[in-house]
Amino acid sequence: MNEHSTHDEPRGTGAESGEQDVDAGERPQVSVVVPVYNDPTGLRETLASLAEQTYPTDAHEILVVDNGSTDETPAVAREFADDHDRITVLVEDEIQSSYAARNRGIEHADGEILAFVDADMIAEDEWLVDAVDAFERTDAEYMGCNVEMVPSENSGSLAERYNLRTGFPIDHFIEDLGFAPTCCLFVHRSVIDDVGPFDSRLISGGDREFGHRVRDSGRALQFAPEATIYHPTRSTAEAILRKSRRVGRGVYQLRVFHPDRYDSTVPVALNPVPYLPPRPERVRSVDGWSDLSRREKMGFYLLSYARGVCNGLGRLEETLRRRASTSR
Q: How far apart are CA 1 and CA 109, in angstroms?
A: 9
3 in any annotated domain: no
Which pLDDT value is given to residue 2?
39
4 in any annotated domain: no
**Single residue among 193, 216, 235 that ends a domain in this structure:** 235
Domain membership of residue 261 as a residue range = 239-326
Which pLDDT value is given to residue 290?
87
2 in any annotated domain: no
* pTM of the predicted protein model: 0.87
Q: Are residues 204 and 252 in the same domain?
A: no
Amino acid, single-letter form, for residue 82: D
Which pLDDT value is given to residue 296?
92
**Single residue among 179, 211, 235 that ends a domain in this structure:** 235
**What CATH number is attached to the domain comprising 75?**
3.90.550.10
Q: How far apart are CA 77 and CA 84, in angstroms?
A: 11
Q: Are residues 143 and 277 in the same domain?
A: no
**Single residue among 217, 235, 253 that ends a domain in this structure:** 235
Q: How far apart are CA 6 and CA 62, in angstroms?
A: 14
Which pLDDT value is given to residue 286?
84
Provide block-wise average pLDDT over 10 residues at a time, the chain (328 residues).
34 38 72 98 97 96 97 97 96 96 98 97 97 97 95 80 88 96 97 98 96 97 97 90 94 92 71 85 85 92 94 92 79
Q: Are residues 247 and 118 in the same domain?
A: no
Q: Are residues 299 and 155 in the same domain?
A: no
Q: Which residues contact 293 (CB under 8 A, 6 or more apart)?
A: none
Which pLDDT value is given to residue 184?
94
Number of domains in the chain: 2
Q: Are residues 53 and 140 in the same domain?
A: yes
Q: Are residues 139 and 264 in the same domain?
A: no
Q: Are residues 267 and 320 in the same domain?
A: yes
Q: Are residues 57 and 133 in the same domain?
A: yes
